[in-house]
Every structure is written in C-alpha cells, then in structure tokens.
C-alpha cells in the first residue's frame, strides 16, 4: 500500500478571529477514538478529552474513549500521540507540522498522529510562566483542537480547509490558547449532514488488506 501523510498545520503568526459553533437537537453519532503511543501526562490527556468532546458535540458527535470493539454504527478513528505532550526544558531544534493524517489512493484514512514536540515548541513561550495546573489545562485544550482538526479531515474525507476556526489551514499559539476557538458555522453544517451511521472503519480495514 502506498501511503503519504496529509500535513494539517503550518506555523505562522497571524491575527485570526473565529466563529463559534452551537449544537442542535439532532441525535449524536458515536465517534470512537483510540489513543496510541507512549504514556502521556494524565491531566493534559483528561483536559484534551473534555475539550474534544465539546468540540465534536457541536457537530453532532459523541466522543467515546474505549478499548472495546465499536458498534456497527460507530465512527472509528485512531490517534497517535508522539513525543512528550507537556512543556519541558528540552525542545526540538526545529518545529514541524503539529499533526498529520494518513492518505492512501486519494482517500483520507482514520489514522492521525499528533506531534507533541512541535506543539510544545509552539506553546512553550506562552505557557512557561503559567502554574503547573493551568499549564496542563491549556496544553490539553490545545491538543484537543489539533485532534479535532484531523477528525474534520477524516469525517469529510477532504484536504480542504475553512477560512476560520478549527478547520483553518494554519494555527497560531494564540488560536490554540484562546478561550473560544471552535469550528465555524459553515464547517459545522458540513459535518452535520454526513449520513448518520457512516463509519470510517471500512477504510481502515480496506487499507490493511492492501
């Protein structure tokens, strides 16, 4: 199987606004997320889970973190955390993309990877002066926004980006750390019209057989 990686973010310094999404009354679709990779700071991971749950709920999805086999109507996504997902004194010399998602034969597969070393490089100047508890919260929330961006690509099977919000092409530290940074309304509308019961697990199984 030939595969390449879809780089999700670039590091630029822009002043960017965002439009806030809101949930509606439609039933939520289960979205099963499996975390892989080395052990990470639990508090940051817990905050990531809370924020990702909120972000995807606005689009009509209920995130489930489970090692059990998902039901047939669940959407399944695997997220790998690379590096150390925390602010520390050891930083990479050169930051790279914050995250990437696997692509094969023109299809976006449900396998994403978050580069925490690059994320730390981006956030460290702003987080260094924060208390440890506040640092864990802000880092975890930033991780969730990165993961939500990858999930957007997977659910819509697109490499396109929105002009604003979590689905925009480039993130700044300010984007990831601000109080409100969510999917814009047009992106939410696209995510909500995906047929309920659609699963990405078929793509994963097909890719594994090649």
Segment-wise mean pLDDT, segments of 10 residues, the chain, 210 residues: 43 29 62 91 96 96 79 79 85 77 94 94 92 96 98 95 94 95 96 63 40
pLDDT score for 75: 79
Class of domain 4-11+21-86+93-192: alpha beta
Contact 77, 110 (CB under 8 A): yes
- Contacting residues for 57 by C-beta, under 8 A, at least 6 apart: 23, 28, 63
Beta bridge partners of 4: 103
Residue ranges per domain, the chain?
A: 4-11+21-86+93-192
pLDDT score for 70: 58
Q: At what angle do helices 185-192 and 132-156 cross, to 10 degrees?
A: 50
Helix or strand run (H / E) with residue 61: strand 61-64
Q: Using CB atoms within 10 A of its CB, is residue 111 exposed (0-12), middle (13-18) or buried (19+)?
A: buried
Contact 30, 195 (CB under 8 A): no
pLDDT score for 61: 95
- Give rounded-to-5 percent helix, strand, coil for the chain: 35, 20, 45
Q: Which residue, 72, 73, 59, 64, is CA-closest to 33?
A: 64
Q: Which residue, 105, 88, 198, 200, is CA-closest to 150?
A: 200
pLDDT score for 203: 46
Q: Is the pTM of this model over 0.85?
A: no
The CA-based diameter of the chain, rounded to the nearest angstrom, is 49
CA atoms of 91 and 189, how far apart (whole Å): 38
């Amino acid at each position: 199987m030939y595969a390449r990686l879809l780089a999700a973010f670039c590091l630029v310094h822009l002043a960017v606004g965002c439009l806030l999404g809101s949930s509606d009354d439609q039933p939520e679709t289960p979205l099963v997320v499996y975390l892989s990779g080395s052990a990470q700071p639990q508090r940051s991971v817990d905050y990531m889970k809370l924020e990702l749950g909120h972000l995807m709920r606005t689009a009509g999805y209920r995130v489930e973190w489970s090692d059990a086999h998902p039901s047939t109507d669940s959407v399944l996504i695997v997220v790998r955390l690379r590096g150390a997902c925390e602010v520390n004194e050891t930083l990479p010399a050169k930051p790279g993309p914050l995250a990437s998602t696997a692509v094969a034969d023109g299809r976006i597969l449900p396998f994403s990877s978050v580069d925490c070393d690059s994320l730390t490089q981006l956030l460290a100047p702003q987080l260094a002066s924060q208390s440890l508890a506040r640092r864990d919260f802000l880092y975890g929330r930033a991780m969730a926004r990165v993961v939500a961006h990858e999930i957007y690509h997977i659910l819509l099977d697109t490499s396109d980006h929105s002009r604003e919000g979590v689905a925009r092409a480039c993130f700044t530290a300010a984007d990831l750390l601000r109080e409100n940074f969510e999917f814009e309304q047009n992106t939410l509308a696209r995510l909500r019209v995906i047929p309920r019961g659609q699963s990405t697990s078929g793509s994963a199984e097909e890719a594994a057989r090649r």
